[in-house]
Chain A
Amino acid sequence: MVTLNVLTGIATLALMSLGLGVIYGMMRIINLAHGEFLMLGAYVTVVATNAGINIWLAMLVLSPLAVGVFGVVIERCVIRFLYGRTLDSMLATWGLSLFLMGAVTTLFGNTVKGVSAPLGSVSIGRYDTSAFLLFVLFLTIIVFAVLWATLRYSRFGLIVRATMQKPDMAAALGVAPQWVYMATFAIGAALTGLAGGILAPISGVSPSMGSAFIAKSFITVIGGGASIIAGTGLASVAFGLVNQVVTFVSTPVLGEVALLVAAVVMIRILPQGITARFFKRSL
């Protein structure tokens, strides 16, 4: 039972952080509006479900689509002016984060909404657990696998990896880095939207829900280091484990504190993240 809790904890952490990891790994931009992208994804699911649309459709298709499109708009209007200016891009996304929180509060009010989780519960041996959490676990594995396969084997993945390593050389070979960056930002945003949609049934949906998750996501991504998939995955396992175990013996808040302490100590030992020292050649 504890194992299952730990596993689903790791899975949600990994899913939440993946979008951030994609954007950071590819573009060296920390999207401080990450939490608000999650929040937007959750709101899309809630609004769509309340409008009578099937919850699976809302979570798995509409949320990523809507947030992905929103990501493109933001990339074109704000981020593309700030490539190469790391601090400024972080500040701009922070402004975006405040703006989105304010906008959603104005539109939907400062109340907690929610949708009920589908699937009910299943029994594994003697224990009952939420089938939805199991679904999240499998979904996370599938998403990671698909992303890895895309980056590793497809032509698009090759272009993306080339641009990541040497943008000017890729440009010399006929790739337009700006389009690759736009696509990457859109994919990152869409993955975040997906995670937001999945979170909607698990947690309450409110304008400020993002700030409940970003701390963990940020730590996971910078703890992971340069590699998108291996870094986010490994860091999720490490920090998810610490978080869930401490949560289990004390409270969720102390779990988060333990997560932070583990991360700060780890960053002293491995300043460039896990994948800077181990699994260097991974994706």
Chain B
Amino acid sequence: MMKRLNLWSTVLVVGIALILTVAIPRLVGLYSLVEVTVMVALAVFAISQGFIWGFGGIQCFGQAAFFGLGGYTYAVAAINMGNSSVALMLGVVVPIVFAGVLGYFMFYGRITDTYVGVITLTVSVILFNLFNATSADIYRIGNTPLGGFNGIPSIPGLTVPGSPNVLLTPDQLWYVSMVALIACYVLLRLLLASRFGRVVVAIRENETRATLLGFDSRRYKTLTFMIGTGIAGLGGCLYANWGNFISPTVFALSMSAQSIIYVLVGGVATLVGPVLGAIAVQSMMSYLGTQQVFNAQLVLGLVLIVFVLLVPQGVLPALRSVLTNLVITPRQRRTRAVATTASMKERS
């Protein structure tokens, strides 16, 4: 029953996304299309955080580290090799490898969730400082100067695989970004329906119990972390592609905070929620950018505080519980309430 429901909702989501993919370039002008494309790149970033946090139960406060690593890897590889398809792959692989090493130390050390949050946050801060300090000319990889605070300009865009001289046009980049986003969504849905995904969720729910049932939670957590960071890296590639530019600000704390805010606003433990959250928050940010009254960071901070205090599960789950409360009868509500209190007691 539950499984079929998930299948249909997945099909529905993919269907809507495909319609949007085809419709949006026909409805809006080129300028708006470019603006929406960056939201898609950030939505990929959001879905990675949504997976790690919402399903893996891993509190990664430095998701921007992997987003940035993906972007920088793409930039360096694309400039050096000229082949952007290989660069794209490297942009996914490098964050995964980095996350594997970091995850080994974190999860095999069995540190608490708080520590995971702080360590990942620190990693992103230090990468930010590190890349900021590479302005001298000796800091170059191959023939790419890292450029320190100024970043790397004129990154070659994605090309058609097999023919490195045919650059993608802005609307082709839109299609590629959307397909990447949909692919990530479908991949994660399939993953969550598989045995692996079920174990991951079981570990989130009760790590001790899952371990006692014979699952190595350290291995599962490390793998979850690696998968999520690979998607974040892909988001970083798309982002670097979109602006043909990357600078250390991709590692900034506010970037990691944004990924958290996307998930929190959209809905924890959903995959569509983070995507919608990313679109909502980015629309708000670009509106804020056009006026001078409120500092964007100030508003982001307020949004985060308000959501944590008032809607800690995010908009989608809150809507869902309001809807179910409206639909089900009072008697069902009572049994459900008893069940919820029981499960809450168990959790605490």
Contacts and interface: CB of A to CB of B under 8 A. Distances in A.
Whether chains A and B associate is yes
Interface string A13-57: 000000000000000101010000000000000000000000000
Contacts of B13: none
Interface residues of B, number: 46
A105 B129 CA distance: 20
Interface residues of A, number: 44
Given A102-B296, A211-B253, A218-B122, A271 B301 contact: no
Contacts, number: 136
A265 B105 contact: yes
Contact of B305 (A85, A95, A212, A251): A95
Nearest to A107: B295
Interface in B106-133: 106, 108-111, 113-115, 117-119, 121-123, 125-126, 128-130, 132-133
B210 interface: no
Interface string A87-120: 1101110111111111101100000000000000
B296 to A, nearest CB: 7
Nearest to A260: B126
A95 B295 contact: no
Contacts of B298: 98-99, 101-103, 105-106
B257 A98 contact: yes
Nearest to B111: A271
B302 A99 contact: yes
A14 to B, nearest CB: 18
A222 B118 contact: yes
B305 A78 contact: yes
Contacts of B200: none
A268 interface: yes
Contacts of A269: 109
Interface string B281-298: 000000000000011111
Interface centre among B114, B115, B122, B312 (most CB of A within 10 A): B122
Interface of A: 28, 30, 32, 78, 81-82, 85-88, 90-92, 94-103, 105-106, 211-212, 214-215, 218-219, 222, 251, 253, 256-257, 260, 263-265, 267-269, 271
Interface of B: 59, 61, 102, 105-106, 108-111, 113-115, 117-119, 121-123, 125-126, 128-130, 132-133, 252-254, 257, 260, 264, 294-305, 308-309, 312
